[in-house]
Amino acid sequence: MIRQLILTEFLSASENTPVVDVRTPAEFEQGHIPGAYNIPLFSNEERVKVGTAYTKISKEAAILLGFELTGPKWADLIRAAERIAPDKKILVHCWRGGMRSGAMAWALELYGFTVAALKNGYKAYRRTGIDSFTREYPFIVLGGYTGTGKTDILQELRRNGEQIIDLEGLAQHQGSAFGSMGRMKQPSQEQFENVLAAALLKLDPGKRVWIEDESITIGKRAIPQNIFRQLSNAPLIRLDIPMEQRLQFLTKEYGGLDKDFLKESVQRITKRLGSLAARLAIQAIEEGRMSDFIAKVLVYYDKTYRNCLDKKRATSIYPLVRDHIDPIENSKKIIAFCHEQNIDPWKPSSSPNIPTGQAAAVK
C-alpha cells in the first residue's frame, strides 16, 4: 500500500525528494506546489473525457477509459519520473489524493521506486496556503520614492541573515507599467499566492520580516487582502534619496530596455501621464535620451506616491535620508536606524513623522 503523508510531512520530505504533480498541464499552470515537476497522467482534453464519463456514465466507465488512455503512455511516464528521480525516490500528488496519484504511485512502486503520496493532494496545500494569509506577521516595510534601490536593499538584508519577502520577485514584475522589463512572465494569481504562501510558511514568526512598500496590485497580481492590510499598518522606513541619484539608477535599470516595449508601456499610461508628457517621453525614447524619458515618467510616479501619503498612519513613518544609492551601505544603515529608533513590528509605533502611503507601483 502506498504511504500517505500529511502536508507537513510531505513538504519536509520534498526538501530532499522530487515532487511530481500528475495533474494536467492546465491544472499545473493554474497553480502548483513550488518546485514540483509536472508529469501529467492525462492531457487537458483527456481529463475532460474521463470526467464526462464519470458524471454521465459511471465511475467504472471512467476508470476503464482512464486505463485505455494511459495504457500506451506508462513506459514514457516511468522514464520521465526516472529522469527526475534517478535514485528512484519520489513524491506524487494529484488534486485531492485520488485515483490519478494512486495510479501513478502504483506504477512507479511496481517499477521499483520508493513512493509516497500527499494525503488530500494539492487541495490540502492550497487550503494551507490560503490559511497562511490570515496570520499576523512582524513586517517592517521599506518604502520611498521610485528609484531608491529598495529591492536591492532587501536582497542585501537577506544576505545578512534578515528575513524578507520579495513580493516583486514572487510576482515576476517590478510593479510599474514597465515592470515586466519586456521579458518577465507573471505567474497566475493562484500560483503567485502559492509562492507567497510558501515564503510566509518558512518564516520564523518571532523575528522581524522586511518587505517592500507596494500597491495592492503588482502588475496583474493582487496581494491578499489581509497581507496588504498588514503592510498598510506596519512601521515603514521611508528612504529619501536625491532625485539626481534616482534618475541615474533608473536610467541604468530601464534605459537599456527594448525601445518598442518602452513606448508601448508609455502609451498604456498616457491618460495618467497626460498626452503632452507621454508624447515627450516617447520622443525621448526614440531619440535615445533615456534620462529625459525617465524624468518625464518619474514626475507621474512621484506624484502618485505623494497622493497616497495620507493613507499611511503618521505614527508609523520613519524617514531616513541617504545621499546615494548603495545597497550594502544603506542596508547596514537601515538596520542601525531600526535599532536607534526602537522600531518594533509587534508594538504600536509612536514616530511623530509626516504621513506616507503605499508606494507608487514602481521600484
- Residue 125: left (phi > 0), alpha (psi -120 to 50), or beta? alpha
Based on the domain organization, do 229 and 266 belong to the same domain?
yes
In-domain check, residue 348: no
**What is the per-residue pLDDT for 310?**
62
In-domain check, residue 206: yes
**What is the per-residue pLDDT for 350?**
43
Based on the domain organization, do 210 and 304 belong to the same domain?
yes
In-domain check, residue 354: no
**What is the per-residue pLDDT for 354?**
37
| CATH label of the domain that carries residue 299 | 3.40.50
**What is the per-residue pLDDT for 313?**
62
In-domain check, residue 85: yes
Based on the domain organization, do 288 and 311 belong to the same domain?
yes
Based on the domain organization, do 66 and 117 belong to the same domain?
yes
Of the residues 20, 36, 53, 94, which is catalytic? 94
Q: What mean pLDDT is reported for the chain?
A: 90
**What is the per-residue pLDDT for 307?**
74
Based on the domain organization, do 239 and 331 belong to the same domain?
yes
Q: Could you list the residue range(s) of the whole structural domain that residue 256 is in? A: 135-340
Total structural domains in the chain? 2
In-domain check, residue 76: yes
In-domain check, residue 31: yes
| 308 belongs to the catalytic site | no
Based on the domain organization, do 99 and 207 belong to the same domain?
no
**What is the per-residue pLDDT for 346?**
78
Q: What are phi and psi of 57, to 5 degrees?
A: -120, -80
- The residue behind cell 518602452 is 262
In-domain check, residue 360: no
- In DSSP notation, 42-88 reads S-HHHHHHHHHHHHHT-HHHHHHHHHHHHGGGHHHHHHHHHHH-TTS
Sites in the chain below the pLDDT cut of 50: 349-363
In-domain check, residue 153: yes
**What is the per-residue pLDDT for 317?**
87
Based on the domain organization, do 101 and 139 belong to the same domain?
no
